[in-house]
Structure 1
């Protein structure tokens, strides 16, 4: 079953075409990698899917309903939520309070939200740090908190934007294990990632965008050997 669908989606900023006629889907229970050089339009696709930007043209469908044109709050309530490449926790609040912000979506009572948030924190490896002030976390801790805030909304589909950027090899391996665990519990994932080893390990399929257009889609090994993908990443001399 297709959970998320981009149907000929485009986005223009004045004369700049950030996305152009992009079509692909994420299936229920699937992990899809979204890759491409810097400036390829990956985060713009995330912003449109999650309601932060309206597409200029095309349609976006989630769980059988058209969602382009809806606000971020509506789309989040429907079960689609994103993280951000630049992590910005509420710095003076505790780790628990940060996670509770997401939990309040499904749990209006404070005690219930706190209980749900604690479960999420333990799941992402932040158990025992719930009373720590968020700004004092390491980069790895802030990345995990970013995921926790999103998970606390109880999504069906999680859009992860470079959650492994800047992490050590060990921290990256832990994040890979976390993403795989999310899928095992029924959460679908669309992930933007520049760590090719990690994205190849995680993804059932990979979609490649370049200059706003989709240039390849398929299983990881096939995409890695696609001449158009090699050319996009390494230039004409390597095509």
Structure 2
């Protein structure tokens, strides 16, 4: 199965032979739209968000390398499952530390968890697809060195989280690890699960004023801590600051 996936990738142009110019165009437009979205205020931000979705979906469709090449396969799941286990251990450790520091913010009901983090988990899956299925795939067409492609994909992924210093550093490290694991195991499912675990852990253990409630771009700069210009409101269902 691994040989079949490698053959499919090579045929689609991973070595950077053909399609490099189109890959660069797709990457520049897609990434440019993403940056414009996070740095543009509403209501224009909503239009840019939809433009990003349409462009990424369309360019993925006409450059589609196959589901297995993009990591949607059973192979490699067990081989990369250690990453999910490691994320769970790190998450449990962070939660215990946050409990001792009294910085843990968690919903008190199952419904509260779904309302508070259900959407984020879906978004974390989408981000992981963007990193491997969009950024890395096109970087592999632009360079013959897999390590360079992984480094560049991780770098632009992290840059999209500026100017949030914590998220930028975390996503740079995670992006590099995820790309390396993906190139070896070709499984996107474990990376999606790991991303979701780590992302939710950051959100519930790091105080909102420190991480600006996970915001990036213009939202990070416009963030106002509770008590500075607005009252502190706690949602009784989710336990989150509104």
Q: Which has the higher strand share?
A: 1
Structure of greater relative contact order (alpha carbons < 8 Å, 6+ residues apart): 2
The structure where helix makes up a greater share of residues is: 2
